[in-house]
Copies of this chain bind each other. A is one copy, B any other.
Amino acid sequence: MTTHDNDAFRPIATVDLAIFSLSPTGLSVLLVRRANAPFSGEWALPGGWIHVDEDANLEAAARRVLKEKTGVETPYLEQLQTTGSRTRDPRGWSISIVYIALLSADDIAERQDAMAGEAEWRLIEGEGVGLSLAFDHASLLKEALGRIRSKVEYSSLPGHLLPARFTLSELQSVYEHLLGRKLDKSAFRKRVAEADFLKPIEGEMRRASNRPAQVFRLKDTRTLALFDRTI
């Protein structure tokens, strides 16, 4: 234990989350208004210090922050990237480990009340939210959106934004919304069947004034299924 083991030589480290959900109008991200300096009063991605006495590891820290802000415990969660530099935080050399979380529509409905006070869902427009964000969070959000849009092409990601039970048509329409283009129904269903990430709920049908639709759920709500080819 030779060197760099005192405060001045240690960067500060936080975990920040890009938490996404589907609002009625489209993909949205959860933002919080900062209470303290720096950037007091500005919007930011939810985040917090690593609690060395409380968090067993990085993912646990991310889950703790998520629970504090939304009340949700077991969503889809993946590490995006880590940024760190001398200048991104005026308090000094700082590191942010960024996670992406996807909340199902059920999570939002149930936990609207449990949401921390100064938090708000903001609709995604283009590469961000049309607001300036604290720190380098606008750039982090842009990276998160890039990752999400890329994964829509070849994974079950959109399924994690729907309520627990949904029809194939509902799933297809989320894909189309996130991709910004229409998909062929037949081809879509072939890919979904191949990737094999859905389980039909026996006997449960969505009824309307047309042929009833089979209702499905994800086989695994915590991992993504990948397609062999693009959707």
Contact = CB atoms under 8 A, between A and B. Distances in A.
A225 interface: no
A152 B88 CA distance: 34
A1 B91 contact: yes
Interface of A is mostly: loop
Nearest to A48: B4
Contacts of A187: none
Nearest to A79: B81
B92 A95 contact: no
A10 B10 CA distance: 7
A12 B11 CA distance: 8
Interface in A39-88: 49-53, 55-58, 61, 79, 81-87
B8 A52 contact: yes
Given A4-B49, A49-B3, A50-B93, A55 B10 contact: no
B85 A58 contact: yes
Interface residues of A, number: 39
Give the residue among A11, A13, A49, A55 with the most B Cβ atoms within 10 A: A11
A109 interface: no
Given A11-B50, A58-B95, A36 B2 contact: yes
Interface of A: 1-13, 36-37, 49-53, 55-58, 61, 79, 81-87, 91-93, 95, 97, 229
9 contacts: A7-B7, A7-B10, A8-B52, A9-B49, A11-B52, A13-B95, A79-B82, A82-B97, A95-B95
Top-10 shortest CB links A-B: A57-B85, A52-B93, A58-B84, A82-B82, A4-B49, A7-B7, A10-B10, A82-B97, A11-B13, A11-B50
